[in-house]
Amino acid sequence: MAILVTGGAGYIGSVTVELLVQRGERVIVLDNLGRGHRAALPEGVPFYRGEAGDRDLVARIAREHDLEACIHFAALAYVGESVEQPLRYYVNNSAQAMMLIESLLEAGVRQFVFSSTCAVYGEPETVPIPEDHPRRPANPYGWSKYFVEQVLESCDRAHGLRFVALRYFNAAGATDRCGEDHDPETHLIPNVLAVALGKLPFLPIFGHDYPTHDGTAVRDYIHVSDLADAHLRALVWLRQGGHSLFLNLGNGKGYSVLEVVRTAREVTGREIPTRWEARRPGDPSHLVADARRARRILGWEPRHPELASIIETAWRWRLAHPDGYPKDPAR
């Protein structure tokens, strides 16, 4: 049986596809290549270019392959963009996810792993943030994911859809083959490394007056391979008949923007000039995971808990791919 991976040509999706293939799973990728790269996929993986919410296409994929489960990465994932273009986010992330789930249920697929996010929590009341923390998203991106979580719960009750909703904190790092290559890039570590490489003149730091130890925003960085491993474990959990779950994925340790810059200077040996900018709307001050539930239930243990080792893997990939992936002529 096969696993449908939507958004499998994207950053976290491609690393997960790589791991699934290594473990002998049959993988089918569906991606519109809006933000993904055909070159990020291993040779021989069946690829469909299209929308996750295209009912006819998903029905065709289900007819052509014996689908067991779906891992749904496909989404737009920029907080700032979601504040400016909320409808684009609700249509792409929420409405398309609903159509995908409907098509899967019609095809008899009842195991679903969902890329959720710590953005469902909004500005936290307690840090580290446990899964039962109130969900009060601070931006349309977080709401677009929270709606899907609600849909999944309803479909579990009504249709027996079993799901694992993985609320990732900040994905970072790379494997030897796959890394982070977005255009535009809004994530901190790839931008820090672009400055280190001389591709950007300086790093803008958004906000110096957050209520954190040095005034810059604090995030929990989790290695992309550790995220991929959690997806594999979630699949096994569902395969073994496990019930639906919401799980945080993070290292449980926060680093400020200034700490990331300092560590990147040490790892790269480069200067990395910075410039202060105003806060970005919708950015909470402090996001750190309490991920004990994922460790307990899935037996998940991050292999790259240290920021320096996460940045080292991203830097290695950047040096090997200074211009990112080869551009797909079809994009």
**Least CB distance from residue 272 to ligand NAD, whole Å?**
21
Considering only 25-33, 148-156, 304-312, 320-328, which stretch makes contact with ligand NAD by CB under 6 A?
25-33
Cα–Cα dist 273/302, whole Å: 31
Regarding 140 and contact with ligand NAD (CB under 6 A), the answer is no
**Least CB distance from residue 271 to ligand NAD, whole Å?**
26
Regarding 51 and contact with ligand NAD (CB under 6 A), the answer is yes
- Residue 166 pairs in a beta bridge with 115, 247
Q: Please identify which residue in 31, 220, 226, 290 interacts with ligand NAD, judged by CB under 6 A.
A: 31
Q: Please identify which residue in 48, 73, 112, 315 interacts with ligand NAD, judged by CB under 6 A.
A: 73
Site string for ligand NAD, 311-330 (x = CB under 6 A): --------------------
Placement of tokens 């040096």 in the chain: 319
8 A C-beta contact, residue 249 and residue 292 = no
Residue whose Cβ sits closest to ligand NAD: 10
Cα–Cα dist 196/330, whole Å: 30
Amino acid occupying residue 254: G
Beta carbon nearer to ligand NAD, 178 or 196: 178
Query: Which residues neighbour 262 within 8 Å (Cβ) at sequence distance 6 or greater?
Result: none
Question: Does the annotation count 141 as an active-site position?
Answer: yes
Cα–Cα dist 301/113, whole Å: 19
Q: Among the options 121, 141, 210, 221, which is catalytic?
A: 141
8 A C-beta contact, residue 138 and residue 189 = no
Site string for ligand NAD, 148-187 (x = CB under 6 A): --------------------x-xx----------x-----
Q: How many residues bind ligand NAD (CB under 6 A)?
A: 28
Considering only 3-11, 81-89, 279-287, 316-324, which stretch makes contact with ligand NAD by CB under 6 A?
3-11
Q: Please identify which residue in 2, 5, 10, 174 interacts with ligand NAD, judged by CB under 6 A.
A: 10
Regarding 35 and contact with ligand NAD (CB under 6 A), the answer is yes
DSSP one-letter string for 227-258: HHHHHHHHHHHHHTTPPPEEEEES-S--EEHH
Beta carbon nearer to ligand NAD, 271 or 323: 323
Beta carbon nearer to ligand NAD, 186 or 244: 186
User: 89-125 burial by CB neighbour count: b if 16+ within 10 A, else e?
Assistant: bbebbbebbeebbbbbbebebbbbbbbbbbbbbbebe
**Least CB distance from residue 49 to ligand NAD, whole Å?**
9
Site string for ligand NAD, 84-123 (x = CB under 6 A): --------x---x------------------x-x------
Regarding 75 and contact with ligand NAD (CB under 6 A), the answer is yes
Of the candidates 164, 162, 163, 182, the one whose C-alpha atom is nearest the C-alpha of residue 172 is: 182
8 A C-beta contact, residue 288 and residue 168 = no
Give the alpha-carbon dihedral of 132, 134, 139, 144, to 10 degrees: 50
Of the candidates 234, 226, 250, the one whose C-alpha atom is nearest the C-alpha of residue 302 is: 226
Residues interacting with ligand NAD, by CB under 6 A?
6-7, 9-13, 31-36, 51-52, 73-77, 92, 96, 115, 117, 168, 170-171, 182
Active site residues: 141
